[in-house]
Structure formats: C-alpha cells, structure tokens
Homo-oligomer: A and B are copies of this chain.
C-alpha cells in the first residue's frame, strides 16, 4: 500500500480562527484560538481549547462570560498578534474598536463580521488544555455581510488556520450543497 505513517503529534486539517475576548485585570484582552467548534445543539454551546497557563483563562474564570469574535482576512495581522503576544506583557485593549452587548465583561470587536456573547457553561480538563464551553446568548453581525438577509461566507471572508504549514486562508469555492447531494446514493429497491 502507498500509505505512510506521519508524526502522530500533528493535526493537519483546516480550523476556524476566533479571538476570545474577556476583561482581565480590568482591561479588555483578546486571545487567538484555532481549536474551536460547536459542541452542542440545545443549548447552543461552543468550545474553545486554551492552554492552562493562558492569561485569558483568568478573565473567563472570574467573569463567567466571554466573547467570541470571528475575524475576516482584513484583520489577519492583529489576529496573529493576539496569538503570539500574551496580555501578560502587552496591552491589547486599544488594538480594536470595541462594542458591548448584554455583558460588561464580554468585549466584542466591531470589525469582526460575526461576534457572540457567551456565558461560561463548563471548563473541561483535557490534559494540556482546558476546553472552555460557553453557551451562546447573543450573536451579532451587520447587513453588509449578508445576502438576502442571510450571512454570506464570501462577504464575511473569515480566517481559517492550517498546519503543517502555519498559514491563514480564506474559503475558496463551494463544492456542493450539504444535506442533499448525498441522497443520490440512495438505493432504489
């Protein structure tokens, strides 16, 4: 067979990129996370994996709320900065134009096409990382990212992260519609 074994410590698949927002030691802070996804349908729970020593965890634990901000390609420099520099050492509170919804401790980034306010649901210990589970309470966007009243991925132009080459990408082209194309394989008895 032509299959070969690779380094089992890697994870070579595309990942969404988010900026987790919280208030830490009195000021807004943002941390870039690619190990993120939805975790439950009802309620709508999202999970972000954060290294146990991260500055961001302090704010999330204290306030029990946080924001999730989805950056587009235009924010790639600031997004990378928030991943490689810790709020312990640099002040990220002036990096973005911020807005707030229901929660004072969930600062949101105005220039992100989609943002959410989450209430901490649970912290799960997963070896080297905590899985921060948050229930989505409010979701925000703008008309300019929509087509016919619905969010349009091409207009949002959200960042996606890959390995082994550490790169940010955007979406390319639609391959097919989901929940439909597969039915062509149904067998006719």
Seen from chain A, the residues whose Cβ lies within 8 Å of a Cβ on chain B are: 1-16, 18, 34-47, 49, 51, 70, 73, 76-85, 90, 95, 99, 101, 110, 114, 116, 122, 124, 126-129, 131, 133, 136-144, 150-153, 156, 158-162, 164-187
List the B side residues contacting A126 at CB < 8 Å: 39-40, 45, 47, 122, 133
| A4 close to B172 (CB less than 8 A) | no
Q: How far is the CA of A170 from the CA of B187 in the complex (A)?
A: 28
Q: A114-B12, A169-B172 are in contact. Are A80 and B179 (CB under 8 A)?
A: yes
Q: How far is the CA of A114 from the CA of B158 in the complex (A)?
A: 24
By the criterion CB–CB under 8 Å, are B185 and A139 in contact?
Answer: no
A16 to B137, CA, bound (A): 24
Q: Is the CB of B139 within 8 A of A10?
A: yes
Chain B residues within an 8 Å CB radius of A177: 165-168
- Given A11-B46, A39-B35, A139-B10, are A83 and B178 neighbors across the interface (CB < 8 Å)? yes
B residues near A161, Cβ cutoff 8 Å:
178
What separation, in Å, do the CA atoms of A140 and B140 have in the docked complex? 40
10 residue pairs bridging A and B, Cβ less than 8 Å apart: A3-B110, A3-B141, A4-B140, A5-B139, A14-B171, A38-B49, A41-B127, A153-B165, A153-B169, A170-B175
What is the CB-to-nearest-CB distance from A170 to chain B, in angstroms, rounded to a whole number?
A: 5
Which chain B residues border A141 with CB–CB below 8 Å? Answer: 3-4, 6, 12
Please state if A77 and B184 are interface contacts (CB–CB under 8 Å).
Answer: yes
Checking B39, B128, B156, B167 against A176 with a beta-carbon cut-off of 8 angstroms, the contacting residue is B167
What 7 A-B pairs have minimum CB-CB distances, sorted nearest first?
A80-B182, A81-B182, A172-B172, A166-B178, A40-B127, A6-B139, A81-B185
Q: A9, A110, A160 — which one has the most chain B CB atoms within 10 A of its CB? A: A160
Do the beta carbons of B185 and A78 come within 8 Å of each other?
yes
Task: Tell me, in angstroms, the Cα distance from A45 to B159 when the chains sit together.
Answer: 23
